[in-house]
Structure 1
Amino acid sequence: MKALKITAFLRCGFSASFDWSVSIDSVIAYQSQLEKLGWERFTEHQSTGQLKPVDDLPIAKEEFNGDWWYQVSRPFFDCKMIHTQHLHRRFNIQESEQHVNKIGKIETTKGAYKNARLAIQLFVTDRVVWYVNGDKDRIKHLLQMVTHIGGKRGSGHGAVSRWEIEDHDNLEDCRFRRIVPTEFAQQHSIDGLTLEWAIRPPYTLQENKRLCVVVENEVRT
């Protein structure tokens, strides 16, 4: 394991709810689980809620008071602007009728097929940087298959033109410039926003959530 600087060069920025929410350990965990399980089992695990903490990534772990998380920083980037864009979701009734012989009325004002106008937040930037204490070769292998980061990837947001992984000379960037539980933050004098957030992937898993401190974004190139 060694301290690394990982840079995603982007075509047009990325979509996310918050500037800290694109977690590099989550990106790597997704690819690691996909490679390990295969597409069918991986999709099944996601759709049926068979999720559990991913504890075997090629990244060093921070262990604290019987808990643990990966030594990865939050994302750092120079945000040129934040742009709100709207996506429109419409159920294609004509196409569905071609595949179903008999179909009743499809309700598009409520339920699973509801039409919607969705507001998404775009962070306009040309690159995102993370600091990771990990296995350079293994991480490079997993990231070379990642084409997009952030949310709404199916709409083309967060397209990655290339990845760059370099050696880094400061392990503290990996350990302390990230989202950490409040007790750890107090012990190491880490300041930032306090809120409930997950400390390891999957970040949607309730058991991974703690009261945390989120350090601020900084321009790092």
Structure 2
Amino acid sequence: MTAHLEAGVAQAAPWGIALDGLLAGVIHQRAKSALLEAGRAHQPLAERDDVDDLDLPLARCARGEDWHWAGTCARPVDGQQDRPDVRYWLGAADPRDLEEVAEAMPGRLEIGQGRYRQHYMPLLTTVTSAVTWDAVGDPDIIRDLVQNIWAIGKKRAAGQGRVLRWEVHPTDRDPWEAGHLHPDGAVGRPTPSTCLPPEILNENRHGGIGWAGLRAPYHHRSRQRRLVLPQLLDG
């Protein structure tokens, strides 16, 4: 699967966006919208001790200590794929906007500290014309899920990660490799070490070993494991 981008993508992790996380986000948002339309309460994932696994159109791999989805993280196809561009964003409260909603304003708005302090933060952006994923799954369902995603990654409202079009096409890669490795043979998703052949670990075709999410939702505490990390974008 390929997402053709307007100018690149800003990503939170030092590797690409996980395909199962992207698909799970769409399914979760649709289920959340259905609940709200029906007048039913929605409990945020962060408030749950455990979360259910959504029915994704991907195969499951159970070769390791715990199962995971057979799909990689995004890989840039060109541009500065091995050297992310460091950009910055500024967050500041506008006194003119505050005057419209506040009954009274202080003589001086403190922007160096407190709740109205300014933020000047770095944003790592991968400059590339497209990113690709490999996976084992149902292409028709995947195509339906991604067709209405207009942007991926961080700072989407500011124009980052804008998607021009999606392509979902078959591959002739070995099914296990398609679900775990980038085309160059490097580890392409967070993976238990017991799931990987010794030669991949011995040749350091990965981004090291550390704590990461095993499957979507990746940020949830119940998903955290000590895993072999994907190849890092900064080389």
Gap regions ≥5 residues in structure 1: 1-5
What is the CA deviation profile of residues 30-61 of structure 1, one whole-angstrom value per residue up to 9, with x for unaligned ones? 11111112078599544863472533212111
Match of 1:8 among 3, 7, 13: 3
| Secondary structure of the structure 1 residue equivalent to 2:196 | helix
TM-superposed deviation, 1:215: 3.8
TM-superposed deviation, 1:210: 1.2
1:49 aligns with 2:47: yes
- Structure 1 residues 207, 187: CA separation in 2 closer, same or farther (over 3 Å shift)? farther
Paired-residue identity, %: 21
My pick for the range that moved more, 174-183 or 48-57, is: 48-57
TM-score, length-normalised on structure 2? 0.79
What is the CA deviation profile of residues 137-160 of structure 1, one whole-angstrom value per residue up to 9, with x for unaligned ones? 221111011111111112111000
Q: Counterpart amino acid of 2:180?
A: F
Gap regions ≥5 residues in structure 2: 182-188
My pick for the range that moved more, 48-57 or 125-134, is: 48-57
Instruction: Find the aligned partners of 1:41 and 1:84 in 2 and give their Cα distance.
Output: 38
TM-score, length-normalised on structure 1? 0.83
My pick for the range that moved more, 141-150 or 208-217, is: 208-217
TM-superposed deviation, 1:87: 0.6
Provide the alpha-carbon RMSD of the alignment.
2.8
Residues 154-193 of structure 1: pairs in structure 2 closer than 5 A: 154-170=157-173, 171-177=175-181, 178-185=189-196, 189-190=200-201, 191-192=205-206, 193=208
- Relative contact order: is structure 1 or structure 2 higher (C-alpha 8 Å, sep ≥ 6)? 1
Equivalent residue number for residue 15 of structure 2: 20
| Secondary structure of the structure 1 residue equivalent to 2:150 | coil
Q: Counterpart amino acid of 1:85?
A: R
Match of 1:36 among 31, 35, 46: 31
My pick for the range that moved more, 111-120 or 59-68, is: 59-68
What is the CA deviation profile of residues 83-127 of structure 1, one whole-angstrom value per residue up to 9, with x for unaligned ones? 111111001222122123245686533344321101111111001
Whichever structure has more strand as a proportion of its residues is 1
Equivalent residue number for residue 89 of structure 1: 91
